[in-house]
DNA sequence: CAGGATCCTTAGCGATACTG
DNA sequence: CAGTATCGCTAAGGATCCTG
């Protein structure tokens, strides 16, 4: 049974929270930022939400015009406008304490982090990665000083790698672990390995001074 | 008894929501964006939150480093970084349906809206307003194409007005009601009345094309 | 097996009354 | 003024069961 409480406050902030302020709602939006997802994919991405509650939230978000339900769940145009806000909230949350274990980490989370944190050399030639996480394929494209993540197979790729979100996250915070991750099988690489190092260091290495991506689209 | 649940998700977005995602938390932050507030002021601004819950939220926000508690409650430096996010959320929420009556509207809400929506003529001379809402005094300054709201008495003002948030909100959506509001006593004006019309129309009148304020500070 | 629905328990919420 | 205390209610959390 979907919830229907309201802050009963005319302010835009309160009205926004009437729509996406219920528990788990913004995490559902997060999961849909990069690609539509099916119910079971959302369940896998958010393992700590119970199935009935997830179903309730999706119904609410659909009813309120944030999410559209077709074959999979996807953001409406209005829902998509939450993207810069949710990303900014994520940047802010980086400084929050780590949550208690056991901890979840979805593919979308890591990829959003990657997009926001990567600062590839603008002078370097564009590079395309095929990235398989939890069985789903993504295309990562490095070009003109930014990283772009899209769902699905790339037309062509410099290198392909298969891993899981936690391992990828660990690599993004310490590229030096790539070798051991490859030998223990948690990362499988096909193609130009040096390109991966390039990607990881685009996230790790300190940014040039004054290079702050702002929140405006 | 403050709540302590967590999404148990390493993603920055989830960790942000662990801090400010509980019910009422972001509305407390909203109330502190323009000025520190005392407990009773917060209660007046958020009439639909119960006192025990407000006390719980304030304790949590203090414990998590968002709010500092002195004579009044105020945002920490980290908490203040939520400002562009909360404002952007408010812009997004403008398109959400109106909540069911009866509806609250705090002074801070209206003033934040005013700051975000006002586009005074950049060529016009700077104007200062003394604004008294719910017994608290604010300074509104129009200059260089922007409106700025600050707590407290202005050193000098072109005009002073006393009213309540709902009346001010009504004026901001329809400046033509100023005359009737003055005669029925819901607005009291001292000084240059035409300056008020100037302020109201800075909000109402259509913006010049391409004049979008973005979210970056 | 995906995509939920149902049931039950717990904890956060909401309202009112009360206190230092 | 600035919160506590109490209590009924409702949403959240967890497990299990159903249906195409």
**Cβ of A104 under 8 Å from any chain B Cβ?**
yes
**Cβ of A63 under 8 Å from any chain B Cβ?**
no
Beta strands in chain B (DSSP E): 67-69, 73-75, 127-133, 136-143, 146-151, 159-163, 188-191
Contact state of B98 with A48 under an 8 Å Cβ cutoff: no
The pLDDT assigned to B212 comes to 59
With the C-alpha atoms ordered A82, A83, A86, A91, is the resulting torsion angle positive or negative? negative
Counted across chains A and B, CB pairs separated by less than 8 A come out at 199
What residues contact residue B177 under an 8 Å CB cut-off, 6+ apart? B170, B171
**Cβ of B98 under 8 Å from any chain A Cβ?**
yes
**Cβ of A16 under 8 Å from any chain B Cβ?**
yes
With a cut of 70, say whether residue A210 has pLDDT above it.
no
Q: Are B92 and A16 in contact (CB under 8 A)?
A: yes
Q: Are B172 and B90 in contact (CB under 8 A)?
A: no
**Cβ of B95 under 8 Å from any chain A Cβ?**
yes
Percentage of the residues of chain B whose pLDDT score is greater than 90? 88
Contact state of A84 with B215 under an 8 Å Cβ cutoff: yes
With a cut of 90, say whether residue B205 has pLDDT above it.
no
Fold of A107-216: Nonspecific Lipid-transfer Protein; Chain A (3.30.1050)
| CA-closest candidate to residue A114, choices B11, B52, B130 | B11
The pLDDT assigned to A215 comes to 43
By the 10 Å C-beta count (0-12 exposed, 13-18 middle, 19+ buried), A145 is classed as middle
A window 100-139: Cβ near strand C (< 7 A): none
B181 CA – D19 C1', rounded, Å: 61
Q: Are A216 and B216 in contact (CB under 8 A)?
A: yes
For A93, which of B12, B23, B96 is closest by C-beta distance? B12
- Protein CB footprint (7 Å) on chain C nucleotides: 1-7, 11-17
The pLDDT assigned to A217 comes to 41
Pairing of strands A188-191, B73-75: unpaired
Per-residue pLDDT reduced to its tens digit, B11-34: 999 999 999 999 999 999 999 999
Q: Which residue is nearest to nucleotide C2 (CA to C1')?
A: A40
Was domain B12-93 assigned CATH 1.10.10.10? yes
pLDDT average, residue stretch B162-174? 96
With a cut of 70, say whether residue B194 has pLDDT above it.
yes
Q: Are A153 and A139 in contact (CB under 8 A)?
A: yes
The gap from C-alpha A179 to its chain's centroid, in whole angstroms, comes to 25
**B142 DSSP β-pair partners:** B127, B147
The pLDDT assigned to B17 comes to 96
Helix (H) or strand (E) holding B112, with range, is helix B107-117
Percentage of the residues of chain A whose pLDDT score is greater than 90? 86
CA–C1' nearest nucleotide, residue B2: C12
Contact state of B89 with A27 under an 8 Å Cβ cutoff: no
**Gap between the Cα atoms of B19 and A54, Å rounded:** 21
For chain B, the straight-line distance linking the first and the last C-alpha, in angstroms and rounded, comes to 36
What residues contact residue B214 under an 8 Å CB cut-off, 6+ apart? A214, A215, A216
Looking at every residue in chain A, the average pLDDT score rounds to 92
**Cβ of A4 under 8 Å from any chain B Cβ?**
no
**Cβ of A122 under 8 Å from any chain B Cβ?**
no
Tokens linked to B188: 């009291």
Tokens linked to B197: 């019309």
With a cut of 70, say whether residue A213 has pLDDT above it.
no
What's B66's DSSP letter? S
Confidence of residue A162 (pLDDT cuts 50, 70, 90): very high
With a cut of 80, say whether residue B165 has pLDDT above it.
yes
Helix (H) or strand (E) holding A112, with range, is helix A107-117
Residue A52 CB closer than 7 angstroms to strand D?
yes
pLDDT average, residue stretch B105-131? 95
A5 CA – D8 C1', rounded, Å: 17
Q: Which of B76, B92, B173 to mutate to test the interface with A (most CBs of A within 10 A)?
A: B92
Lowest pLDDT segment from A15-29, B165-179, B196-210: B196-210
The pLDDT assigned to A216 comes to 42
Domain residue spans of chain A: 12-93, 107-216
Per-residue pLDDT reduced to its tens digit, A92-125: 999 999 998 889 999 999 999 999 999 999 989 9
For A13, which of B8, B27, B216 is closest by C-beta distance? B27
Predicted model pTM:
0.94
Q: What residues 173-212 of chain B have any CB closer than 8 A to a CB of chain A?
A: none
With a cut of 80, say whether residue A208 has pLDDT above it.
no
- Protein CB footprint (7 Å) on chain D nucleotides: 1-6, 10-16
**Gap between the Cα atoms of B134 and A217, Å rounded:** 37
CA–C1' nearest nucleotide, residue B51: D3
Looking at every residue in chain B, the average pLDDT score rounds to 93
With the C-alpha atoms ordered A99, B81, A57, B23, is the resulting torsion angle positive or negative? positive
**Gap between the Cα atoms of A15 and A105, Å rounded:** 29
Per-residue pLDDT reduced to its tens digit, A32-59: 999 999 999 999 999 999 999 999 999 9
């Amino acid at each position: 049974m979907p919830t229907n409480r309201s802050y009963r406050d005319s302010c835009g902030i309160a009205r926004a929270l009437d729509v996406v302020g219920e528990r788990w709602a913004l995490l559902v939006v997060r999961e849909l930022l990069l690609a539509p997802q099916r119910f079971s994919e959302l369940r896998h991405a958010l393992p700590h939400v119970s199935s009935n509650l997830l179903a309730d939230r999706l119904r609410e978000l659909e009813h309120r015009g944030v999410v559209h339900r077709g074959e999979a769940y996807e953001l409406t145009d209005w829902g998509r406008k939450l993207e810069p806000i949710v990303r900014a909230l994520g940047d802010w949350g980086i400084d929050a304490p780590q949550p208690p274990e056991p901890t979840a980490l979805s593919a979308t989370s890591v990829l959003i982090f990657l997009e926001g944190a990567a600062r590839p050399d603008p002078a370097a030639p564009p590079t395309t990665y095929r990235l398989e996480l939890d069985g789903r394929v993504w295309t990562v494209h490095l070009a003109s000083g930014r990283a772009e993540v899209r769902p699905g197979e790339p037309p062509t790729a410099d290198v392909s790698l298969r891993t899981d979100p936690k391992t990828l996250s660990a690599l993004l915070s310490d590229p030096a672990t790539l070798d051991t991750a490859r030998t223990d099988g948690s990362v499988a690489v096909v193609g130009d390995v040096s390109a991966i190092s390039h990607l990881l260091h685009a996230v790790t290495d300190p940014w040039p001074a004054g290079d702050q991506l702002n929140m405006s689209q």
